[in-house]
Every structure is written in C-alpha cells, then in structure tokens.
Amino acid sequence: MASQLLFVPHLSLFPKTLPFHASLFSTKHPTTTRPLHFSSNSRIRYLQAETETPTALTLRQICHGFVPEHILHRMEEIGFVFPTDIQREALPTLFTGRDCILHAQTGSGKTLTYLLLIFSLINPQRSSVQAVIVVPTRELGTQVTKVARILAAKSTDVEGKGCTVMALLDGGMLTRHKSWLKAEPPAIVVATVASLCHMLEKHIFRLDSVRVLVVDEVDFLFYSSKQVGSVRKLLTSFSSCDKRQTVFASASIPQHNHFVHDCIQQKWTKRDVVHVHVNAIMPMPLCLLHKFVVCGKENKHQILLALLESDAPESAIIFVGEQSEKSKKAGNDPSTTLLIEFLKTSYNGPLEILLLEGDMNFNSRAASLTEIRQGGGFLLVSTDIAARGIDLIETTHIFNFDLPQTVTDYLHRAGRAGRKPFSARKCIVTNLITSEERFVLQRFENELMFSCEELML
C-alpha cells in the first residue's frame, strides 16, 4: 500500500486552537511524570505500539525527546496535558518524518498536532524560514499565529535566540514583511496562499530551507477556493515534496481515498504518506443537537427572531448564504445587510449584533472579531467565512438562516459550536428551511449520521 489509513473509535472534544482562559485549567498536571528514555527509533516504535491500545500517555511523554522542553512547559502551562485522539495517533508517525493527512472533526486538536511537529524540527539559531503554514483566510491565520507565538514565547531560563513567527496574511503590511524576511527571516511563516505566492514570485524568499509545509483546511483550498492553481504551484513548483515534510489538515476531505491517490500521483506528498483518519464513523460532535423549522421565505426573519427569544443563546452565529452575482448586478442588498438591519430594529435581547463577511475590508473583519473576543455575548451574522477554523468558544447556538450548499459546509458551520473546553453543555444547530429544502437536510443527516428534530412554532 502506498498510503496507510489509521482509525480510532472515539474522539474527545477539544478546541481546534488553544483556549486562552487559564481559569479553565487546573494548574496541577503530571509534569513530574518520569519521561520515557529510549533511542529515537526505539521510542517511535514504542509510541506507535502504544497507540494500538488505550493508553494514559501524556502529551509530554509522547513528545519527550522530540519537542524542546520549554515548548512542552508552555503547552502544559496553558492546559494541554493529555492528548486528543488525533494527537495520540498522528504525533508518533509525524516524528518519523513521514508526510501526513490529518483528517479529524472540528475541535479535535489538529492545530496543536502540527505545531508540535514544527517545534520538534526547527532550529531557532538558523536564520531562515524553516516552516510554512498555509491557511485559507486571514482570520484562521491570525488564530494559528497567536497559538504558535504563545508556544514559542522565550522562557527566561532558555539561552539563545527565540523562535520568531511571522503572519503573512492578506491585507498585511507587505513592505514591512519584505524587509523583515530579508533582514532576519522568521523561523515560522503563517500565510494565506495569495500573500505567500506574491512573496515567492517576487523572489523575496525561497522555500529551499523549509523543513515542514502545512496546508490547513486543505479541502477548502483544493475544492472551494479560486486559488487552487496557486496551491498546486506552491506544492510542486515553488518546492519539492522530496525536500520537505508535508502535512495536510482538515475536518472534511471528500473522497479521501481519491485525494490520497492524487497526493502521491501529483507529487504533493511523498509516496508513503499516512492518512490519519480519526473517528471516521461519527464526524459530527456529539454535544450538538440539530433542529429545523419549516418556514416560507417571507417570514424567515420573524421565525429567526422568535427562535432567538425562545432559545436565549449565550452567543450565536447566524449563517447567511453568499449573494449571487445575479443579485449583485440587479443592485439588490445582500441578505446579510437586510438581516442586520432587521435585527437592529427588532431584536431587544442583550447580545451585541455584529457582521462578518468576505466583502468587508480587512480592518472591519478584524474589528468584528476583536469586539467578540473582548467578552460579552454576541450575535454574529456571517457568511461561510466564519465556518473555517474560527474559534469562538462561547458560541452555544448556530442558526442556518440559509441552508449550506454542501454537506461539508454544514459540517464546518455546525463545528463552530460546542468548542468550549471541558463543557458538558449541549449546543444547538437550528436550520430555517423551506419545505422544498427538507430533502437536502435529510441528505446531510444521512451523510453525517445525525438526526434533526422538527420544531413547531
């Protein structure tokens, strides 16, 4: 077999990125556990054997001998002590140097998995870009950068140069980044495809020294993005799979067996790439309750208002479909604008109403997320830009004002709720559909294996 497929029967619910609320974690963790001392090869064989049966290995024990001590200490300070299933399965394989496709549901810990690999390989003393993380949106890039910088923060008892992380994201100050890349290249670059390819085409830097290339939300970049050509060029023209370790990550990879075959044939990865598929049976988080309301297009706004009043969410995301080109040419207002105006005049609840959509400028998008993260409840009206990677752990309710177009979009939208660490609270995904859309929702139920309860209002 050219690729290997790994399955795990159960999946713990952990946030995609690190939670930034220290009070949620006990300061007592097993840092005093004696590390396991083996040679590098024997340790990897031991760890791989341990993943075949239930184990109480901590993240420190899995990473000891590969990840620097100060990174492990920071990881435990934040509260990451025991591995999620994807971390338990993937890390021993990643430490062997093999390429991996990390395929696990939203909130399963994929980000920390590939960051630990990166910190195991980079040398802060080298003045070169050694790891690149490609992301589909500026918002996800900002989150990944924040997590990487928290882990990389230099400890006072660690001598030498600290590990630097650059965010090379759309809308950034590219002139300043050019000077930074030439004068003192960062060890890690987190970049959107457009910004990264711009720097490579201008010969600002090369990928020759890159040891790890990560593509996060890989299915979105390959199947839903207008930049798929740039992604392919990045993987084959700007760099060679033989000279780097490649990691792809996503909660959803349609026709994954075919994708693995393409990875090998197109030389996006090496031939021995490992597909780590955690919890292939139940891709939807179990903490979510799914409901639907059948309504007409003319009373959707009023139905949503009634749901907000009856459910009283702590915080919610209301997903609205993208405006069609035909509607734009006709000069119609987008659905997001109409919904925001309706809520501001009709909603009397305590939650702050905010907007997030792709057509907004970068400063406006950043301002919306900043307001959310300053605390307090929110009603975020958003297009699918919020469905990929954005970690708003206070979200208790998802409202699909417009039904998503694909089952993958449904999975990623629903995965924005139920991300608060160690919370047993059930979160709710409610779909506002017409009678004609019922069969579409039933198809989503069948493919993702969840059941949806009808609400009568």
DSSP symbols for 80-128: --SPPHHHHHHHHHHTTT--EEEE--TTSSHHHHHHHHHHHH--TTS-S
- How confident is residue 281, by pLDDT bands cut at 50, 70 and 90? low
CB-based contact 288:450 (threshold 8 Å): yes
- pLDDT value at position 149? 93
Same fold, 4-277 and 288-454: yes
- How many Å separate Cα 291 from the centre of its chain? 25
Q: What is the mean pLDDT of the chain?
A: 82
- State the pLDDT confidence band at 24, using cuts at 50, 70 and 90: very low
Which pLDDT score, from 0 to 100, does residue 8 have?
38
The residue written with tokens 């619910």 in the block is 13
Q: Among 291, 372, 316, 288, which residue's Cα sits nearest to residue 105?
A: 288
**What's the pTM?**
0.68
pLDDT confidence bin for 424, thresholds 50/70/90? confident
Q: How far apart are CA 16 and CA 232, in angstroms?
A: 26
In sequence order, what are the residues at sequence separation of 6 or more whose Cβ sits closer than 8 angstroms to the Cβ of residue 426? Answer: 287, 288, 289, 418
Domain range list for the chain: 4-277, 288-454
Query: Do residues 113 and 102 lie in contact, with contact meaning Cβ atoms separated by under 8 Å?
Result: yes
Domain 4-277 has CATH 3.40.190.10: no
- Assigned CATH topology for domain 288-454: Rossmann fold (3.40.50)
Distance CA 198, CA 62 (A): 38
E strand spans, 281-411: 288-294, 316-319, 352-356, 378-382, 397-400
For 241-262, what is each residue's pLDDT tens digit? 999 999 999 988 878 889 999 9
Question: Cα separations (Å) of 228 from 192, 215, 259, 275, 373?
Answer: 12, 12, 14, 21, 31
Q: At what angle do helices 40-50 and 85-94 cross, to 10 degrees?
A: 150
pLDDT band at 50 (very low <50, low <70, confident <90, very high): low
